[in-house]
Structure 1
């Protein structure tokens, strides 16, 4: 065997050992930054609309997650549900289209969230099935995960109570 053959043999073994070390170091995907870590989740998305007007074509990270009618004689918090939405972890975009009676200011315009929305693995509880997208009148939003049925957010209840008080 020549010197080049010995070097090639040693280099090949080192490459295999290095690859195995890399895979073992990554574990089974339970460690942060692991090769096998989950990069997305599949959830049922419920859009809660706390605006005093209807919205539609609500998109979370470029995926349609619903729309929501907001009737003039009902409290804020009207909602819609879309099942089986694949949501990636990381920074999110959120947009919707404003609607309302014919001639209402800004009808048909696209609005977007002002605050940053980031989904990290720590925010997603084990066994999560639902994601609530709560859209507020100041163009901010909250993403709230749940294992069970979603309800209005604490902040959203404030808007709903205020609406009910003025419409009694």
Structure 2
């Protein structure tokens, strides 16, 4: 066998052996591994803590629902959209304001003013749902859960206030 061909084969085998440790990390169970998925597929539930309905709720340009207002229910109505693929990293969340005819800002689009970032370590291994919690100050939270989602701790405060004062 030619020395040149033998050298090429040995170099190729050496290159492959260097990649083996990287492939071992790619089982997907290790947080932050090289081959970990850069997105997650979940059922998205929208929780609206505003005192008005919202609609056309978009997470990264994907429609994830709309919601009746907290004033219609002391628990904040929500909607569910199944099988939404959400990328890891920075998120963009927008929604349109609804309400009775003549209500200020009807049809206007609001954007979450706080930074929303999904990191691998905030996603439980058994997560199947993502709660999108929208608050009256135009901030939001993204909370992952295994099964049925519940109101956030902050959202419960808004619901209790509504129950006390009816607004």
For Structure 1 versus Structure 2, the TM-score category normalised by the shorter chain is: 0.7 to 0.9
CA distance in 2, matches of 1:122, 1:89: 10
Return closer, same or farther for 1:12/1:62 CA change in 2, 3 Å cut-off. Answer: farther
- Conserved? CA contact 2:57–2:95, under 8 Å: yes
For residues 73-84 of structure 1, the aligned pairs below 5 Å read: 73-75=72-74, 77-84=76-83
Counterpart in 1 of 2:159?
160
- Conserved? CA contact 1:133–1:141, under 8 Å: yes
Shift of 1:119: 1.0
C-alpha distance after superposition, 1:2-38 (max 9, x if no partner): xxx6446424531342134224324223445534212
User: Could you tell me the TM-score, scaled by structure 2's length?
Assistant: 0.88
Shift of 1:104: 1.1
- Conserved? CA contact 2:129–2:145, under 8 Å: yes
Instruction: Tell me, yes or no, if structure 1 residue 67 matches structure 2 residue 66.
Output: yes
CA distance in 2, matches of 1:15, 1:102: 71
Return closer, same or farther for 1:107/1:16 CA change in 2, 3 Å cut-off. Answer: farther
Shift of 1:41: 1.2
- Conserved? CA contact 1:89–1:119, under 8 Å: yes
Shift of 1:127: 1.2
C-alpha distance after superposition, 1:59-84 (max 9, x if no partner): 11211111101164422521111111
Counterpart in 1 of 2:15?
18
Q: Which moved more, 1:132-141 or 1:73-82?
A: 73-82
Structure 1 unaligned runs (5+)? none
User: CA RMSD for the aligned pairs?
Assistant: 2.0
Counterpart in 1 of 2:134?
135
Structure 2 unaligned runs (5+)? none
Q: Which moved more, 1:17-26 or 1:116-125?
A: 17-26
User: Could you tell me the TM-score, scaled by structure 1's length?
Assistant: 0.87
Counterpart in 2 of 1:53?
52
